[in-house]
Amino acid sequence: MRKEQHHKGWNEIKTNDSWAIFKIMGEFVTGFEKMSAIGPCVSIFGSARTKKGEKYYDLAVDVSKKLAEAGYGVITGGGPGIMEAGNRGANQAGGISVGLNIDLPFEQHDNPYIDADKSLDFDYFFVRKVMFVKYSQGFVVLPGGFGTLDELFEAMTLIQTQKIHRFPIVLVGTEFWKGLVDWIRDTLLEAKNISATDLDLFKLVDSADDVVEIIDSFYKSRDLSPNF
C-alpha cells in the first residue's frame, strides 16, 4: 500500500509539471515581447541589502545615470538596494528604467524608479535570467551576494562556452572584488581549470566613467543587438 501511495504522489507531480510548461511559456512570450521593444540596455546587479547613502548605493546611482546619459537603458532585478539605485540613476537622467521582478518570500519588492510600462514580474528565476542575458549589452556587477555571483558566473560561462556572443562584464569595486579576482587567477588558473584568456572576460573598475568607457569602447565596432 505504501508503495502504491508513493507512486500516486509521483504521478500527480508529473501531471503538474506538464501543466507548468504553459506558465513557463507565458513568461517567455511576455518577456520577449516587452524586452525586444526596449532597445540597447545594460544590466546592473548587486545586493538587495545595500542601503541608500552607502558607498556602493551612491556609486550604482552614478553608474546608471551616466549609462542613461550615454544612451543605454538600465535593467535591474527590480528590487531594493543596488537594484533600486540602478533604476534611480536611470530615472534621474531621463533614461529607460527596466525592472525584472521576481517573486520571493523576503527582500524583494518593486522599487519606485522603474518605468511603469517596463516592469515585468517573473515566478521563474531561469526565465528572468534569460531576459537579462538576451537583452543586455553589458553586465555591471556591484557588490552583492549569492544571486549577484550567480548572474556573474553564468554570464561568464555562457560567453566562455560560446553559447552567447561576448559582451562587457564590468565588476565595480576593487576593494570588494579583489579577493575573488585573486582567487580566480591564483587558484582556478593555477590549477588549469580555466584558460589565461578567460581572465579577459571581465574588467575591474572603481568609477562610473570607467564603466561607460569600457562599454562604449566595446561597441565602437560592434552592433547593439540581442545576444541570441
Per-residue pLDDT of 145-158, as tens digits, reads: 999 999 999 999 99
Entry field: residues in the chain? 228
Report the distance separating Cα 90 and Cα 76, nearest Å. 10
**Which pLDDT does position 41 carry in this prediction?**
97
83: pLDDT strictly greater than 70: yes
The whole-number average pLDDT for the span 49-64 is: 97
Closest alpha carbon to 151 in 75, 97, 89, 53: 75
Task: Provide φ and ψ at 221, rounded to 5°.
Answer: -120, 20
Ranges of each domain in the chain: 39-221
Burial class (CB in 10 A: 0-12, 13-18, 19+), 145: exposed
H-helix or E-strand spanning residue 13: helix 2-35
Query: Rounded to 5 degrees, what angle do the CA atoms 126, 227, 174 make?
Result: 75
Q: In this predicted structure, what is the pLDDT of residue 7?
A: 59
Query: Tell me, what's the pLDDT at 87?
Result: 98
- Greater model confidence, 10 or 226: 226
- For residue 24, pLDDT over 90 is answered with yes
Task: Give pLDDT, residue 210.
Answer: 98
Q: What is the C-alpha to C-alpha distance for residues 83 and 45, in angstroms, rounded to an integer?
A: 7
pLDDT at 206: 98
CATH among 3.40.1110.10, 3.40.470.10, 3.40.50.300, 3.40.50.450 for 39-221: 3.40.50.450
**In the prediction, which pLDDT does 77 show?**
96
In this prediction, residue 6 carries a pLDDT of 56
pLDDT on residue 25: 96
Pick from 114, 108, 112: which is nearest to 90 by CA? 114
Judged against a pLDDT cut of 70, whether residue 182 lies above it is answered with yes
With beta carbons less than 8 A apart as the criterion, state whether 206 and 60 touch.
no
Distance CA 228, CA 226 (A): 6
> How confident is the prediction for the chain on average, in pLDDT?
92
pLDDT tens readout for residues 7-22: 556 565 556 778 889 9
- Cα separation, 209 vs 205, whole angstroms: 9
Contact 67, 42 (CB under 8 A): yes
Amino acid at 121: D
- Which residues lie below 8 Å from residue 154, measured CB to CB, with a gap of 6+? 129, 133
Give dist(CA 217, CA 226) in Å, integer.
Answer: 18
Percent above pLDDT 90 for the chain:
84
pTM value is 0.91
* Of the candidate ranges 3-7, 178-182, 200-204, 223-227, the one whose mean pLDDT is the lowest: 3-7
Q: Is the dihedral of CA 82, 155, 109, 118 positive or negative?
A: positive
Backbone angles phi, psi at 28, to 5 degrees: -65, -45
